[in-house]
């Protein structure tokens, strides 16, 4: 996985509710845990933009409700700082469903996607409607 040139503040912890920004059938997701977490014993694994998390589907089509899915976080409310000094923040926390090989489940993304996601996951750029 490619490193990012951006300082990302990790503000989403297990229990955070995010919206699903693709057309896979899920609507609301609750973060369960972060994949590849490392940190102090007993501390919650905070995740941010570009991280892959395991989430539970809280609302959506019956095929997805109460299922555990892999999600890439594409937007977060907490500002991120880019290398040129620009700070970017979005109006909601959102993610899209991906498979085990990090391919998107849906075919289009509703709303904007951060440029850092496109740098790290090339295949997700193909379904993005806007890249900020």
In tens, the pLDDT along 88-117 reads 999 999 999 999 999 999 999 999 999 999
pLDDT tens digits along 31-41? 999 998 888 89
Does the pTM exceed 0.85?
yes
- Do residues 29 and 20 lie in contact, with contact meaning Cβ atoms separated by under 8 Å? yes
Sorted by where each begins, the domain ranges of the chain are 17-131
Beta-carbon contacts of 50 under 8 Å, excluding residues fewer than 6 positions away, are 4, 8, 72, 73, 114, 116, 117, 120, 121
Instruction: Give 17-131's CATH code, choosing from 3.40.50.2020, 2.40.150.20, 3.30.2020.30, 3.40.50.920.
Output: 2.40.150.20
Residue 118's CB: how many other CB atoms inside 10 A?
Answer: 17
């Amino acid at each position: 996985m490619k490193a990012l040139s951006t300082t990302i503040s990790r503000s989403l912890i297990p229990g955070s509710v995010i919206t699903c920004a693709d057309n896979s059938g899920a609507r609301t997701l609750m973060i369960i845990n972060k994949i590849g977490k490392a940190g102090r014993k007993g501390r919650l694994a905070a995740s941010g933009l570009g991280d892959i998390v395991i989430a539970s589907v809280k609302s959506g089509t019956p095929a997805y409700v109460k299922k555990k899915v892999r999600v890439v976080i594409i937007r977060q409310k907490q500002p991120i700082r880019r290398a040129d000094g620009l700070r970017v923040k979005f109006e909601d926390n959102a993610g899209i469903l991906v498979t085990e090989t990090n391919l998107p489940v849906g075919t289009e993304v509703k709303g904007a996607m951060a440029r850092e996601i496109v740098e790290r996951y090339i295949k997700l750029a193909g379904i993005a409607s806007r890249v900020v």
